[in-house]
Amino acid sequence: MDPLEAITPIDGRYREKLEQLSEYFSEHALIKERARVEVEYLAKLIEEVEPGKISALPLKWREVLRVIGEEVSIEDARRVKELERALGHDVAALIRLLREKLHEYGLGIIASHIHLGLTSEDVNNLALSRLLHRFNQEALIPALISLIEKLSSLALEHVDTIMLGRTHGVPAVPTTFGKFLANYAYRVARITEELHSFRFPGKLGGAVGDLSALKVAYPNVDWLEFARSFVESMGLEYFPAATQILPHDRVSEYLMKVAILDSVLSNLCRDLWMLSSLGLLIFGIKEKEIHSSTMPHKSNPILLENAEGAFDLASESLAYMARRLISSRLQRDLSDSIIKRFYGLPLSLTVLGIRNLEGALDRIIVRKEEMLLEVEGHPEILTEAYQVFLRKLGVEDAYELIQQAVKDGWSKVAEVLRSHLPESEYSKLADLRPSSYTGEAERLTIQLLDEVDRIYKKLTAARP
């Protein structure tokens, strides 16, 4: 299919940026992962429940099984879809293919045991959890680590860059641009740490979760222990309270964590956009780029805006999925199945947003002089310090006095201070400059970045 014919931009306009994610969210990826689950289950079943069959198998039967599970080609996936059209069931189609392959590879003696005692959801839940785990560790976490590096580096570079803080959109008191960025670096790092340590769940339980058919066929096997050990052997956390499906509580926790991450990053985009609109940041334009079809002078924060939209759409979609997937009628209905097939949409949008935000940060130009001039141009921001200092000295109505003085004119503020302070104390306040009124901003920035660095080292310790 030509990307220009894609129904969604994920596989069309943004395909080049997101192509790697087909390894986790494509139909081929799901078929391959289901096959891995099926052959691993078959291997455990033969080894632990039907060991008498091993003597009739080729010497390297276990390795052959692994090859069957690992090497599901795109042609094999097409064969599965062809079978599905006739059978009307995707997992049944895969089972038919795997039986064909078992005979082809000389393992026909155990072909009848593929998928023995399972329901399709035993395979689906394990396959989807494993795909989500791989996406999380191989795609999302590395993208977030790269973003954390960028935010931390910029925060350290601007640890003492004075910036006017705004509350309710209007001037408040000064802070630093480094502190502004360090706040976000810390928030992103903290969520990334939680995502990194998240364990995806899995279940094995048969038609309604009770392993009934297997218990009839093999009454002497401890099927609860078998189920637990198999799920854990697949790198997942065993979830015992299953029906036919894996309840989505834990997966919904993950989706909601990513939704929160998306909301945090969207807010960062909006904050940077507002600073850009105030002329305090510039997001440069590349050579030969055009940012307006009619206005040649335009240099727009296009990557920032694209990232914001991606994060917002991802967050809303993930939050909906997280809530909706918890609902299932009695032991099973299919309403969750179509929703889970769209995991790739919001999670791909999350990665797209991160990459575009990073691209925007690569272009950022911080107008330090303009930031400083803006701060110095608002002397009224010192009135917070004035009223607190007066109250420290016992002037009970200091807030009201300073508030009225500001309304009457800046000279009135000086009069109030002079009338209530000894000369030595008045001189201290008179010498206070807006640009020096940043409290613990620099120290807080360093503390935040130290914590970010701790998390960063933990995230990267196990990576090559």
- State whether residue 433 is helix, strand or coil: coil
Query: Which two tokens mark 125?
Result: 């839940």
Q: Is 327 a catalytic residue?
A: no
Length of the chain: 464
Query: Which two tokens mark 230?
Result: 């198999």
Host H or E run for residue 175: strand 170-176
Question: Residue 308 and residue 265: Cα distance in Å, rounded?
Answer: 8
> Residue 261's closest CA among 200, 191, 363, 206?
191
CA 193 to chain centre: 11
Query: Of 73, 146, 292, 427, which one is the catalytic site residue?
Result: 292
Angle among Cα 135, 461, 349 to the nearest 5 degrees reads 25
CB atoms within 10 A of CB 316: 14
Query: Which two tokens mark 226?
Result: 């078998």
Query: Which two tokens mark 120?
Result: 């399709």
Written as one string, the DSSP assignment of 253-301 is: HHHHHHHHHHHHHHHHHHHHHHHHHTTSEEE---TT--S-SS-TT----
Could you tell me if 258 and 350 are in contact, meaning their C-beta atoms sit under 8 angstroms apart? Answer: yes
Query: Of 55, 168, 411, 424, which one is the catalytic site residue?
Result: 168
Angle among Cα 210, 213, 219 to the nearest 5 degrees reads 90
Q: Is 152 a catalytic residue?
A: no
Question: Residue 172 and residue 437: Cα distance in Å, rounded?
Answer: 11
- Tell me the angle at which helices 223-233 and 27-48 cross, rounded to the nearest 10 degrees: 140
Question: Residue 367 and residue 248: Cα distance in Å, rounded?
Answer: 48
Question: Residue 96 and residue 112: Cα distance in Å, rounded?
Answer: 11
Q: Is the dihedral of CA 345, 350, 351, 353 positive or negative?
A: positive
Residues recognised as catalytic:
168, 292
